[in-house]
Chain A
Amino acid sequence: MLAYTARRALATIPVMGLVALFVFSLLYLAPGDPAAVMAGDQATAADVERIRATLGLDRPFLVRFGEWLWNVLHGDLGRSIFTDMPVTDLIGQRVGPTLSLMVLTLILSIAIAVPLGVVAAWRKGEFIDRFVMFFAVLGFSLPVFVVGYLLAYVFALKLEWFPVQGYSPPQNGFWQFLRGLILPSFALGLVYIALIARITRATMLEVISQDYIRTARAKGLGPTSILFLHALKNASLPIVTVIGIGVGLLIGGAVVTESVFAIPGLGRLTVDAILRRDYPIIQGVVLLFSFSYVLINLMVDLLYSLLDPRIRY
């Protein structure tokens, strides 16, 4: 198991290396010459050349990539072009709201989607099954900002159950904090719920046709314990896999959700950085999100042997 963990962890290194190379090329290919910008309008060509040499911008691509990677591994993502603040500090300030949003979305989505999928499989072909499947198609078709505005309009503007926009940090009261995140979480989670419910239904359909489910039924177990204890446990591998892959959807969706609900997280940081063409920030955020995504899916891989003791490495 330990050897397997080490092997899987090592296998993610080339992938992360390629991601880093891509993200670095982004800054390398970015239009605009930082040396010319720093030198100002009155600078001569020689001045620009000198600044370029001091910044190390005249060295070959791979040398600069190596140096940049070294810095990244030491927690230095460079400085924002616009505010001159270290990118790691900017990310550190904004990571809280995004992390809260995504964790709440994850919890809500799994808590809603898995029972929906299980019930749909159990009642295959009946009304509840058709409802879940229709809801899944709808979930895939409604873009996150459309759902966001719809929820905000109905539950915040008209019914006034939740705040319309904004973010209240947990220090100002946990209930207030949670209330502000519920609508964004549902908006962000809809497509995720659709995805998980669909795969849960599909896998459960396969599992409940197995012999041991018939045995469980024959020995007199009720449907709840058969479905949620016996069947769901055996259906968990594909579900967990999709939960891991779906985090990619959440990350992309978070960028938009934060714009709709005016949450000062990494998504807002990215959008502002794009409008100002602040490449080091874009680079840092893309790198952070991608590495988290790879690590989450690594953890999912390692979970397999816990969920299914038959898998040995």
Chain B
Amino acid sequence: MSTVEHSEADRGACFAAAPQLPDVHPPQRIRGRFASFAFQHPTIVVGAVLLVLVMGCAAFAPLLGTVDPGAVSPARRTRVPSEAYWFGTDMLGRDVYSRVLYGARVSLIVGLSVAILSSVIGVFIGLVAGFVRPLDAIIMRATDAMMSIPSILLAIALMALSRGSVQNVILAITVAEIPRVTRLVRGVVLSLREQPYVEAAVAAGARTPKIIRQCILPNTLAPITVQATYICASAMITEAILSFIGAGTPTSIPSWGNIMAEGRAIWQVKPYIVFFPAVFLSITVLAVNLLGDGLRDALDPRSAKRI
């Protein structure tokens, strides 16, 4: 049978005569499927395209007409954007365009690392809380305490303890984000444990590791993926904030936050030094958030209806 839309009359005839059934999954051209996916989840596509563009900027920064982002040239200080300096130059004569492009690397690395690290650690602690009942109360009180310290403040406090470096920024933000994942996973585990198929697995004599692997983990994947994208977005904002107030990425490595911090003193006369990293940061975070919203709608239709 062809994939052409059947008319009502055709369907009626099918019922009456019960001829050969149509293919359950009619073969489709790839392009058609992609187009329908893009139509159903436009936010995923827009988010992914924007993100790929920013990733391209970060990965191919040396090929995109940049110069050494740390190259100081006092003679060419605070030039306005022009053909030679697309985004102008800063107070030390460094090329803002090159700095912004290289700065994308820090944001993306921090965002991705925090999302992955906090998800992995959070899943582990969440599983422990969900399965080892005596530890549950302790872990939950600890997450309560951690979550009652506003996360930016917690990251600031941790950064105050350590030297400013990209690794430490990643660690500080990860610690602040872990409790959220832990609570999410624990909630999922507790509700799954009551499901008949998990009870059946227990009754059939399956050992806990096997139950975790086969019944629990696959079901946490969707909410964790969605949560991880939001964590990635908020980690990029937190990194920028930390660098902006001088407690994050060291000034030797350009990051959107510290480029803005350096432009802060003269932003009223030369707003472009603050403007360009701000635009890049906002677009990147927006892309990740759109991706997250789209994934949430696609993976968890129930919550999509609610919010």
Contacts and interface: CB of A to CB of B under 8 A. Distances in A.
Nearest to B285: A141
A145 B241 contact: yes
B237 A19 contact: no
A146 B282 contact: yes
A26 interface: yes
B244 A142 contact: no
Interface stretch (A2-10, A41-49, A247-255, A301-309): A247-255
Given A157-B268, A294-B148, A18 B161 contact: no
A202 B306 contact: yes
A206 B306 CA distance: 8
B153 A274 contact: no
B260 to A, nearest CB: 7
A109 interface: no
Contact of A271 (B141, B246, B293): B246
Interface string B145-178: 1111111111011011100000000000000000
A53 interface: no
A290 B150 contact: yes
A207 to B, nearest CB: 12
B163 to A, nearest CB: 9
Contacts of B306: 202, 206
Interface in B269-301: 271, 274-275, 278, 281-282, 285-286, 289-290, 293
Contact of B289 (A140, A198, A289, A290): A140
Please tell me the size bucket of the interface on B. 35 or more
Contact of B286 (A26, A138, A249, A289): A138
A143 interface: yes
Interface string A141-162: 1111110011001000100000
Interface in A51-67: none
Contacts of A289: 149-150, 153
A149 B161 contact: no
A192 interface: no
A141 B233 contact: yes
B144 interface: yes
A164 B264 CA distance: 13
B307 interface: yes
A145 B275 CA distance: 11
B281 A143 contact: yes
Interface string A18-42: 1100110010011100000000000
A142 B289 CA distance: 11
A137 B289 contact: yes
A14 interface: yes
Contacts of A128: none
Given A198-B307, A202-B307, A259-B244, A19 B157 contact: no
Nearest to A256: B241
A17 to B, nearest CB: 8
Nearest to B263: A149
Contacts of B151: 248, 252
A290 B148 contact: yes
Contacts of B142: 18
B150 A251 contact: yes
Nearest to A20: B145
A251 B149 CA distance: 10
Contacts of B245: 255-256, 259, 271, 274
Contacts of A285: 153
B141, B237, B293 pick with most chain A CB within 10 angstroms:
B237
A220 B286 CA distance: 43
B145 A19 contact: yes
B150 A249 contact: yes
B240 interface: yes
A77 interface: no
A68 interface: no
B289 A141 contact: yes
Nearest to B159: A274
Contacts of B156: 255, 270, 274, 282, 286
B247 interface: yes
Contacts of A150: 278
Contacts of A259: 244-245, 264
Nearest to B154: A286
Given A255-B152, A286-B157, 9 more contacts: A15-B144, A15-B145, A142-B282, A248-B151, A256-B244, A256-B245, A282-B157, A286-B156, A290-B150
Interface of A: 14-16, 18-19, 22-23, 26, 29-31, 137-138, 140-146, 149-150, 153, 157, 164, 198-199, 202, 206, 248-249, 251-253, 255-256, 259-260, 270-271, 273-275, 277, 279, 282, 285-286, 289-290, 293-294, 297
Interface of B: 141-142, 144-154, 156-157, 159-161, 233, 237, 240-241, 244-247, 260, 264, 267-268, 271, 274-275, 278, 281-282, 285-286, 289-290, 293, 306-307
The 3 closest A-B pairs by CB, nearest first: A252-B152, A18-B145, A141-B286
9 contacts: A18-B141, A18-B142, A29-B161, A31-B161, A140-B233, A140-B285, A143-B282, A248-B147, A248-B150
